Chains A and B, each alone.
Chain A
Amino acid sequence: MTAVWEEWRAIVSDKGATTVIVAGALAYALLYPLPFVRQLARDIPIVVVDQDRTAMSRQLTRMVDATEQVNVATSVNSTMEGEASVRTQRTRGAMVIPVGFEQSVLRAERTIVGVYGDASYLMVYNQVATGIAQSVATMSAGVELRRLQASGFTPAAALVTRDPLPISVRALYNPSGGYGNTNVPAVLILILQQTLLIGIGSLAGVRRERGTAMHAEVVEGGLLHRAAGILGAGVAYVAIYFVHLMLFFGVVYRIYDLPQRGSMLAAALFLVPFLFAVAFLGLAISRLFRARESAMLVLLFSSLPAMFISGFSFPPEAMPAWTTALAQLLPSTHGIDGAVRVLQMGASLADVLPMSLALWGLAGAYFVLAIVTLRPEKKAHGANGPAHA
């Protein structure tokens, strides 16, 4: 119990640690979602190359313009002009309606509409392709239904004949396909991990600079004494971060209107071993940091790789085995996976049992590692003055 208080006192009495652990974590969580509030790229400007100039080509142009994905910024006559418009980035895509478009449709021939999208940005291309292709498909289906009805089908029968095996697609848990809805919850978990690691690391750096190892009396005591001290420090961090969890889920989720199908409390409970795993990991590696700033530098760098190997933005099925194995050692990999399932999707704690077990396993392993790495150093501490990182 004294260890808990002592760690708290250390955090509060050091401005740097307070900045990262309290102000940094909360400011980050409050600001990060801001750019993504609109969730999707809408009304992306495109150019229509209308080589047909008929009632039907104008109707297709209007249909495309009416979609939420794209916006017809300009209509030109030649492919040259259309290409120039995309190349100079005035527009991000083009729809090319060929000469004889209406005539082909009336003569019951097939005609092809060209869809060109700037594919150097994934979301831009997807929206352009979806907006145009869906409008074309709708118009095509209308033409086909009219033809079928003209040849004696009832409207209902025509619908069946046209597409006997229709596919109905439902994207569960994020029906609007919003980017912020999926990205922000994962990043919030990563923010918890990285700020806690940086906070513990810089506090260790400060102690190192001042020549005091992690609470000298704990480290110099016996094995059990050390274990108790590390456990106490872990409890201190987990308690602070549990409050963060409540603020993230209760306040940040509200402000940015993020979907929440599961219970906040269940998600927070699921994340308790995550917090312990992160805290013990931070303590276990804290000896590496000889100055306050080195923790910041090293752990800031690790944020990007940690995000991408977690398998959240890019599927682990596409990664080599050693990368996915490395990812298993990071609490964020399991924490993100499980917390998203519980909070966003409404999974029960039983559904995410494998992730819970992995997190408890990591917590235990890093606890043992911390006991080993924080054993007393041979030389008298503080003898060599402030060390450089």
Chain B
Amino acid sequence: MDAQPPTPAIAPARINREHTLGLRAVVGREVRRIAARRTNAMLVLVLPLLGWVLLRSVFGAHVVRDLPVVVIDGDHSELSRRVARAIEATPVVRVVDKRADVSDAEGILLRGDAYAVVVMTAGMQRAVARNERAPVQLFTNGQWMLPASLITRDVRAAVGTISAELDVRNRVARGATLAGAQVSAEPIRSELHPLYNPALDYAAFLFLALVPTLLHVFVLALSVQALGSELKDGSAGEWIACSNDNVFIATVGKLLPYTLWFTALGIAMVEGALRSLNLPMAGSRLLLYAGLLLLVLAYQAIALLLVAFTANFRLSTSVAAFIAGPAFAVAGVSFPRAAMPPAGQAWSAALPISHFLQLQIEQVIADASIRVSLPLLGVLALFAVVLPTISLRRMGFVTRTPSFWGRI
């Protein structure tokens, strides 16, 4: 890369008639390019909607029920049957087998016949009658975290209730009043108030977060394709010429159809998710959708950076895949960003989708004030402005240098 050809001004200081004509020409050319390829229609329309429908069906139930649990009753007493019935009556548990043997408890978990095993050993009722402690054992499969924690919560509550009843009955038998016994059985009680999500409906929340995540994959991949294929096909010169030799106009014109389409599609998909989940919007729609537009622009800016600096379609596609593939896990929705090591936090912060998902949660669910969410919009805008600023000059150079074309 020795003597660089003199590059014209990057961004026009004033938009004149020539620019408007150039922009119109590039947009028209891009729309024709999209229409000419059958696969593109699939990529911009069918796949995002298919993904939406699939994820909606995965998380459609809202509440998890009927998780298989095995109860091994070694006591066969009135008490043990009462415990088994109480466990069976909890919403999340479905007792699948009551005849299993305790020696098979581990096998049940290893084979995956159930997520958890409850064991009540022989002599439980007699022990309680003799005023001895008789523990109920719950073994969960900790590798399947969500089922394990839901089952633990419900089984703990069911057994705790029976234990408290036994305690109160015991005290009343010793001459306490019923009310007095109930108070002294639990002098300090904690009352849980889940804020912003009183029903603890995580399925809905995950689905809502996955919708823009799905979208960002397409925005990034298709923007890289739109820009990179000009180099690969060797049509970059023709593209720039179409804009009256202005790389700023050429880039804006090329990406604009995608910006508009994906913002509209994103709004429709998020709106559809809110409607189908019956989630009321706590905060500001305007703020959320402004964020969505900035999210689209931020990923288009990343696409521009990749294509400009690698000058290689294949490599920029691979890097884009590396950026978008693990983004959901790193974004901080399922694992909080504050709990990551510094390198992980930096990774998370470098992805625009992390900031957008935080904005979405704040606005849809937590009803955060504009002052709380505004900095997030600022960060997204920063991606959308800074990256093109540093990439456009290089993009101009690459697109005007035929030796960069057709290199794959």
Contacts and interface: CB of A to CB of B under 8 A. Distances in A.
A168 B135 contact: yes
Interface string B334-348: 111011110111011
Interface in A158-177: 159-175, 177
A357 interface: no
A351 interface: yes
B338 A41 contact: yes
Interface stretch (B213-221, B258-266, B297-305, B380-388): B213-221
Nearest to A187: B329
A143 B329 contact: no
Contacts of B55: 304-305, 308
A296 B317 contact: yes
B91 to A, nearest CB: 12
Contact of B188 (A24, A136, A312): A136
A116 interface: yes
Given A28-B326, A42-B339, A108-B184, A300 B138 contact: no
Contact of B142 (A136, A175, A183): A175
B58 interface: yes
A297 B335 contact: no
Interface stretch (A5-13, A125-133, A263-271, A372-380): A125-133
B68 A317 contact: yes
A126 B149 CA distance: 9
Contacts of B336: 41, 121, 123-124
A315 B67 contact: yes
A89 interface: yes
A113 interface: yes
Contact of B39 (A169, A294, A345): A294
In this complex, the interface size class of chain A, counting residues with CB under 8 Å from chain B, is 35 or more
Contact of A36 (B140, B325, B335): B335
Nearest to A110: B183
In this complex, the interface size class of chain B, counting residues with CB under 8 Å from chain A, is 35 or more
Interface stretch (B14-22, B288-296, B364-372): B364-372
A114 B191 contact: yes
Contacts of A169: 138, 140, 152, 155-156
B167 to A, nearest CB: 6
B190 A112 contact: yes
A220 interface: no
Given A115-B191, A296-B318, A303 B325 contact: yes
Given A32-B326, A147-B187, A164 B163 contact: yes
Contacts of B64: 314-315, 317-318
B136 A167 contact: yes
A162 B214 contact: no
Contacts of A296: 221, 317-318, 321
B356 interface: no
Contact of A305 (B54, B61, B146, B318): B54
B347 A35 contact: yes
B110 interface: yes
Interface in B128-174: 128, 131-149, 152, 155-156, 159-160, 162-163, 166-167, 170-171
Interface stretch (B4-12, B24-32, B195-203, B237-245): B195-203
Contact of A170 (B139, B159, B325, B348): B139
B112 interface: yes
B62 to A, nearest CB: 9
B401 interface: no
A24 B110 contact: no
Interface in B95-132: 106-107, 109-112, 115, 128, 131-132
Nearest to A166: B135
24 contacts: A20-B318, A35-B330, A36-B340, A105-B187, A109-B183, A117-B194, A120-B205, A122-B202, A125-B200, A157-B131, A160-B133, A165-B133, A182-B143, A183-B334, A292-B408, A297-B221, A298-B47, A304-B210, A305-B54, A308-B58, A317-B68, A323-B58, A345-B110, A388-B37
